[in-house]
Structure 1
Amino acid sequence: MALEPPPRLIRALGETPRDADTDDWLRKLPELAEEAVARRDLTVERVQVPGGRSSLVVLVRLADSTPAVLKLVPPRSRPAGERAALAHWGGLGAARLLDPAAGDGALLLERLQRDVSVRSLPEAKSMLEAAGTLRRLWVAPPGGHRFETVAERTGRQAEAMRACPDPDAAPLVAAALAAREALLAGAPEERLLHGTFRQSKVLAGERVPWLAVGPDPVVGECAFDLARLVRDRVEDLIATPSGAAVTRRRIKRLAESLDVDQERLRGWTLFRAVESGVRALRVGRVQDAELLLEFAGWL
């Protein structure tokens, strides 16, 4: 069976500046996938379609017929960091890594129900379940870890934000950058964070009801991780006349339920929304950018 990358993955990789390593990885992806399958003695069922925006996901079975998922990630998406985080969590709150000793850039994971995320639940219930899952991931990082820090990641993002050519976005960019500086000056205890957490990253499982997938791990304060969840279903928030009030209540409830400082959560929510909006502008996703920047204006 040809393990070709789905069109969604190709389009997503094309939205960001291409580099030689990514081009090479995409060109060799069918071969890399076949080698990873053979190395693990897997039986391929099918490639997950439409699949993710940053990886090739293949539904497979182990030698004993146990269902699993083989995930291949481009080098720029830091697969080694994802592997290290999943191994450290050990299946607590996140999908279990089934090949912790492998070193070929592919990840073999327990299979979850990819079509059933907490986003399918009513809004209040989905937030409750997502927050509970996130809490289990917030553990002390391993000693001598090599994970990127929040300061490092947001430093790179801040440089890109300063280059935003849209003058209308300038006040929000300035506010977001100022918020980042203040937040980094007084950061509380650091934890290992998911890094890109949202409702669609929490899938139904067999051994426990909900487990997180697709981390881009980072070490820092918990409010940074929770900030992305605040704007979940942003299109619904924008379409609601009371969207700004709903957002403020959401920040308050999430902060209280997870023992996070409310003002720090608001600050990181602002920074991450503006950063995502500026990035959407940069790659031509104008509608997404408008939604994100309008949301950021409420903060």
Structure 2
Amino acid sequence: MAFEPPQRLVRALGEMPETAQDADWLGQLPRLTEAALSRRGVEARRVQAPGGRSSLVVLVTYADGTPAALKLAPPHARPDRELAALAHWGGFGAVRVLDTRHHDDDGALLLERLHPEVSLRSLPEAKALLEASGTLRRLWVAPPAGHGWETVADRTEQQSAALRAAPAEVRALADTALAMRAELVAAPPEELLLHGNFRQGKVLAGERAPWLTVGPDPLVGERAYDLARLVRDRLEDQVASSAGAAGARRRVNKLADALDVDRERLRGWTLFRAVESGNRALAAGRRRDAELLLEFAAWL
């Protein structure tokens, strides 16, 4: 079968800083996919479409008909780190890894098959937040000794470089975000394994458990950083509501209290992550997304 990458993936990769490895990845994708299928002894059924913004997912089966999913991501996505995190969770709250070996030759992950068309976004908001909170709580565990994941301080320091060079229209919010980040990393309260990119769309329906998370961008640090991305889920609906700043702050407080996270630390990380994402969206030419994110950040 042909392994044509979904256009959503092609567009998303086009917005990323290009490296020599990643520039060649899309061109090599058919060969990498065939090699990964052969190496793991599974047969392709179809490419999941529209798929994600950072990987190709092929729905596959074993010779006995057992379903699975093969995920291929470009080198910058560090699939080895995702594999390590999923293996450490061992299927508790997260998709289960069916092959825990990392193959540098293809960087693919063989995972249990979930229902990609059914995420928490299919639920009413209140129920989705309840299920999301329960799933996220399961993921926050101590990292193994000698882990190779970056820390919240490391990742946000890299992101801060772009904020320091933010355009004039983002300057005031960027300065506020940078100041908050400096205060937050000065006294981190805990070091736990975090999902790194957790939101409702990253939690899919499964057979083994009702809801399981996928697509971690793992790092080590405090829970408030991980929860911050969930705060701004369904952002267009939040901005369109009449609640405005009061509604945004209520959402921060509600999620913080539900997961025993400090309210002010959650507010700080939510603001930083929204401004960082907004600045990145602006640089990529996604002005509508940038305006929503920056408006939300200003409410905080």
Q: Shorter-chain TM-score category? A: over 0.9
Q: For the residues of structure 2 that align with 1:18 and 1:143, how far apart are their CA atoms? A: 33
Q: Which amino acid in the other structure matches residue 164 of structure 2? A: R
Q: For the residues of structure 2 that align with 1:173 and 1:135, how far apart are their CA atoms? A: 30
Q: For the residues of structure 1 that align with 2:192 and 2:63, how far apart are their CA atoms? A: 36
Are the aligned partners of 2:82 and 2:216 in contact in 1 as well (CA < 8 Å)?
yes
Q: For the residues of structure 1 that align with 2:232 and 2:263, how far apart are their CA atoms? A: 15
Are the aligned partners of 2:99 and 2:110 in contact in 1 as well (CA < 8 Å)?
yes
2:20 corresponds to which residue?
20
1:156 alignment partner, one of 133, 155, 158:
158
Cα deviation per residue 1:222-258 (whole Å; 9 max; x = unaligned)? Answer: 0000000000011011111113222111111111111
Cα deviation per residue 1:109-152 (whole Å; 9 max; x = unaligned)? Answer: 00111011111111111001001000000000011001011000
Q: Shift in Å at residue 64 of structure 1?
A: 2.1
Are the aligned partners of 2:245 and 2:299 in contact in 1 as well (CA < 8 Å)?
yes
With 251-260 and 220-229 compared, the bigger mean Cα shift is at: 251-260
Q: Shift in Å at residue 18 of structure 1?
A: 1.6
With 239-248 and 42-51 compared, the bigger mean Cα shift is at: 239-248
2:125 corresponds to which residue?
123
Q: How high is the TM-score relative to the length of structure 1? A: 0.98
Q: How high is the TM-score relative to the length of structure 2? A: 0.98
1:135 corresponds to which residue?
137
Question: Does the alignment pair 1:235 with 2:214?
Answer: no
With 9-18 and 168-177 compared, the bigger mean Cα shift is at: 9-18
SS of equivalent residue, structure 1 residue 192 = strand
Q: Which amino acid in the other structure matches residue 111 of structure 1? A: R
Structure 2 counterparts to residues 280-299 of structure 1, below 5 A: 280-299=281-300
1:82 corresponds to which residue?
82
Q: Which amino acid in the other structure matches residue 290 of structure 1? A: E
Structure 2 counterparts to residues 28-39 of structure 1, below 5 A: 28-39=28-39
Q: CA RMSD in A?
A: 0.8
SS of equivalent residue, structure 1 residue 45 = strand
Structure 2 counterparts to residues 1-299 of structure 1, below 5 A: 1-104=1-104, 105-165=107-167, 167-299=168-300
Are the aligned partners of 2:80 and 2:102 in contact in 1 as well (CA < 8 Å)?
no
With 66-75 and 6-15 compared, the bigger mean Cα shift is at: 6-15
Q: Which amino acid in the other structure matches residue 203 of structure 1? A: L
Cα deviation per residue 1:261-286 (whole Å; 9 max; x = unaligned)? Answer: 00000000000000000000010000
Q: Which amino acid in the other structure matches residue 138 of structure 2? A: R
Q: For the residues of structure 1 that align with 2:190 and 2:23, how far apart are their CA atoms? A: 39
Q: Which amino acid in the other structure matches residue 97 of structure 2? A: L
SS of equivalent residue, structure 2 residue 117 = strand
Q: Which amino acid in the other structure matches residue 157 of structure 2? A: G
Give the percent of matched residue pairs that are identical in Structure 1 and Structure 2.
67
Q: Which amino acid in the other structure matches residue 69 of structure 2? A: V
Q: Shift in Å at residue 107 of structure 1?
A: 0.1
SS of equivalent residue, structure 1 residue 46 = strand
SS of equivalent residue, structure 1 residue 108 = strand
Q: Shift in Å at residue 4 of structure 1?
A: 2.0
Q: For the residues of structure 2 that align with 1:185 and 1:164, how far apart are their CA atoms? A: 23
Q: Which amino acid in the other structure matches residue 150 of structure 1? A: V
Q: Shift in Å at residue 168 of structure 1?
A: 2.0
